[in-house]
Structure 1
Amino acid sequence: MTGDSEKYWYNLTTGEVERGFASPAIDRAGPFETAEEAAKAPDLLRERSRAWSEEESREDGWGLTGDDAPAQ
């Protein structure tokens, strides 16, 4: 397994795929094993965000029944 400095990252500011620590950590998403995976980072981040939002909505409604439950 290679170190993170040898993996690919998606630069959130420029939209470019980078290898290694070319940009500050705040601007990077990753690491990814391949440049192709890194290029798909925006889609992956959107999907994870959607899933987390749905999970939080379910947790917010935990234990509520009937009229107390949030609208779906």
Structure 2
Amino acid sequence: MSTDEQYWYNTETKAVEVGRRSAWSHLMGPYSTRAEAERALESAKSRNESWEQDDKDWRDK
């Protein structure tokens, strides 16, 4: 496997794909490593919570 391969998380199958194989509507990524792709949903949830808090803080000022 080459070092420039990209990993994608498929939200429909809940599997990591090497290279883009599925429809864009089911993919998150690209990620540099399989481990990053495996944590795609966790990372997205964390970012969303952070952004929501930032928005709340901004509105409350």
TM-score, normalised to structure 2, is: 0.84
For 1:21, the aligned partner's letter is R
> Which structure has more strand as a fraction of its residues?
2
Cα distance in structure 2, aligned partners of 1:35 and 1:17: 7
How many residue pairs were aligned? 59
Cα distance in structure 2, aligned partners of 1:46 and 1:29: 13
Q: How far 1:17 moved relative to its partner?
A: 0.3
Q: Gaps (5+ residues) in structure 1? A: 63-72
Residue 10 (structure 1) aligns with: 9
Cα distance in structure 2, aligned partners of 1:60 and 1:11: 34
TM-score, normalised to structure 1, is: 0.73
Determine which structure has greater relative contact order: mean sequence separation of CA pairs < 8 Å that are 6+ residues apart, divided by chain length. 2
Residue 40 (structure 1) aligns with: 39
- Determine helix, strand or coil for the equivalent of 1:57: helix
Q: How far 1:16 moved relative to its partner?
A: 0.5
Cα distance in structure 2, aligned partners of 1:61 and 1:39: 35
Larger radius of gyration, structure 1 or 2? Answer: 1
- Determine helix, strand or coil for the equivalent of 2:41: helix
Q: Gaps (5+ residues) in structure 2? A: none
For 2:52, the aligned partner's letter is S
Cα distance in structure 2, aligned partners of 1:53 and 1:28: 23
For 2:44, the aligned partner's letter is L
1:27-61 deviation digits (Å, cap 9, x = unpaired): 11111111111001111011001001101111211
